[in-house]
Amino acid sequence: MKFIIYGILVFLTFGCKKTNENAMTYFGGQIINPKTNFVLLLKDEKVLDTMLLDENNRFLTEIPSLQEGLYTFKHGTEFQYMYLEPADSILVRLNTWDFDQSLVFSGKGSAKNEFLINLYLQNEKEESMMYRNFNLKEKDFQTKIDSLSKERFAIYNDFFQNETSVSKGFEKITNTAIQFPLYRLMEVYPYFHKGVYKLEDFPEVSDEFYNYRHKISLNEEDLVSFYPYQNYVVSYLYNISSQLSETDSAKNDMTVNILNAINEHITAEDFKNTLLKRILVSDLLKSDSACQINEEALNLFLTNCTNTAYVEQVNNLIKDCAKIPKEEPLQDFEIVSYNNVPLTINDVIKNKNAVIYFWSTAFINTDYLANRIKFLEKKYPDLLFVGINMQSSPQNLTEDAHLKLLDIDNQYLLSKNSSAHHFLRSNYPRTILIDDEGIVKNGFINLDSKKLDSELIKLNAYN
């Protein structure tokens, strides 16, 4: 049956030119070096389908009565966008070792998606190069932006001249993909220009510099799940919040400023809730210890967020933080080795200064995780780094090329009934620092925290 379906897909891909709104749409492909055994298809960040890989790492799904628009497919921690229309028959092929660069589309509807992914890769390259230009004065920086815009629209015009049937929806997405990364660079220009010249204050920027703001909306509901749009909106909110803190000494709490800006400018309910949670959680997680609570920010979130699941997750995070008190013995909990040997955490870290990091591929890229831990182990060879996978369906360390870099002897799983689940209710990763007497020196810090180094230096000093 599987081969019959693939045969139908090939037939539809090359033999069908006619489209209609009720036609079946197909999406499938092959994953080289898969991270998991499935691929997710999402629309507006909601999972529509979970597609299992077969023995050849292929997958396929049928979508009846497809709603035209932007979709996301996700594998492991990586994702990419697709624009789908009724009767499309799209195949993707990619290698997880180089997810975006290796991604190839084929089949009916592939041309627009090849254009979109190439535009994404070009944006990444050009944006990286543009960071060299933040030292320029306002007019010179504007000239650089205008030049990039012209180049991108030349490519855009060439594509649309050769494609005879392109929908208005796809035109809108491509316009967003072209313009909004440039708008974002305009929003972050004052911040980076200030940093380049080590200025005390933000540079003065003319009103004309932000003329583009008059022609955009911050509440385009069909764009809120699209990263160029999201990134621009966040950068805009950050910019106006920073400017406020510069001009009003009573408004120096950036988290509070941004939450207020969200409440003032964002009316699309789901988008507003997402931004409120993202900003508050970021503030909680960047604290150096025990999630120091910003009460004003927390009250703003709780008053304005209408998503009960987000509220519950934030409340759980706050409770999680409090359950590992500093300067008290770490309460023992059950773990399991990758060889299926039951242990307790105190068995593993006894008489050692230890860094216990809980992780999940829902939040951490395995490439980042492996490289970060190898770096820290080399820098602090006298500390014991213990990794604990929180996932109910744990990542296989022997199958992931990145995770193979980690020492499997220092990697563990949580048993189903482990008492550690009581301080991991929010599902967010956390790192706990324990001295050689089993005393908690930091109950909640992130692996990417700017304050982690200073905390590890202190831990390393305990004898």
DSSP states of 203-267 as a string? Answer: PP--GGGGGGGGG--S--TTTTTSHHHHHHHHHHHHHHHHHHHHH-TT---HHHHHHHHHHHH--
Measured in degrees and rounded to the nearest 5, phi and psi for residue 86 equal -55, 135
How far is the CA of 350 from the CAs of 330, 337, 344, 355, 458, in angstroms? 11, 16, 10, 12, 19
pLDDT score for 161: 82
pLDDT score for 399: 62
pLDDT score for 97: 83
List, for residues 98-138, the tens digit of each pLDDT value. Answer: 888 899 999 998 999 999 988 888 888 888 888 889 999 99
Percentage of the chain lying above the pLDDT 70 cut = 92
Q: Out of 2-6, 37-41, 42-46, 234-238, which region has the weakest mean confidence (pLDDT)?
A: 2-6
Strand order from edge to edge, sheet including 354-359:
342-344, 334-337, 411-414, 384-389, 354-359, 430-434, 440-445
Residue 2, pLDDT > 70, answer no
Q: How far apart are CA 226 and CA 244, in angstroms?
A: 27
CA proximity to 149, closest of 175, 176, 182, 184:
182
pLDDT band at 276 (very low <50, low <70, confident <90, very high): very high
- List beta partners, residue 95: 32
Token digits of residue 421: 């689940």
Q: How far apart are CA 298 and CA 153, in angstroms?
A: 43
CA proximity to 70, closest of 212, 172, 190:
172
pLDDT band at 383 (very low <50, low <70, confident <90, very high): very high
Residue pointed to by tokens 């009581």: 422
pLDDT band at 186 (very low <50, low <70, confident <90, very high): very high
Measured in degrees and rounded to the nearest 5, phi and psi for residue 259 equal -60, -40
